[in-house]
Amino acid sequence: MWIPLGAAARGYRVVAVADALAFDRPSDDPLRERARKRRTLAGNYQLIARWPALALPGGHPLWFRLWSHKFLRLAVPALLALALGANLALWPQGGLYRVALLAQLAAYALALLGMASAGTMRLAPVRLCAVFVQLNAYAVLGLLDFLRGRASALWRSDSLPGGAQT
């Protein structure tokens, strides 16, 4: 991300070439895949910390794309917790608030079912809920990795090709 974002910040156009070859093989090992997701999400926090202008409207030519495709997903766990708290607080009001709370709790129950019993993951609603909850858990774990400065989980600029810095 660092190199193309740096090029865009300097006014260059960054494009994807349809004929370019890229190899990103997902791991068959769930623990490695989980670590990769955590590292990637921790890298998003690291990117904002190292380049704060990315967080500001107009601070980078691609700021809207970054926020809409990368950074907003980091807020989802907090927004889910806020929604759960609001739904619990509004339960006495009845009606739609109760439906919202029950739907949220049902989604979490399906996620737990999927994580506890691999056989249930064949069912699309179970799989969808389980993956959604897992990805949001990785966002929280990625934040914790970033805040703790866990080098094994973070991208380092010294690992860029040729030691490139921006």
Domain count, the chain: 1
Its domain, for residue 115, covers: 2-159
List all residues 6 or more positions away from 62 whose beta carbon is below 8 Å from its beta carbon: 5, 8, 14
> Is residue 14 assigned to a domain?
yes
> Is residue 125 assigned to a domain?
yes
29: pLDDT confidence band, cut at 50, 70 and 90? confident
Calculate Rg over the CA atoms of the chain: 19
Nearest-angstrom CA–CA distance, 154 and 47 = 10
- Select the highest-mean-pLDDT range: 21-35, 40-54, 131-145: 131-145
pLDDT of residue 151: 52
Neighbouring C-alpha atoms within 13 Å toward the C-beta of 69:
6
> Is residue 165 assigned to a domain?
no
Interval 78-117: pLDDT, tens: 999 999 999 999 999 999 999 999 999 999 999 999 999 9
Over the chain, what is the mean pLDDT?
87
> Is residue 42 assigned to a domain?
yes
> Is residue 166 assigned to a domain?
no
Cα–Cα separations (whole angstroms), residue 60 to 14, 49, 54, 127: 13, 14, 6, 37
> Is residue 85 assigned to a domain?
yes
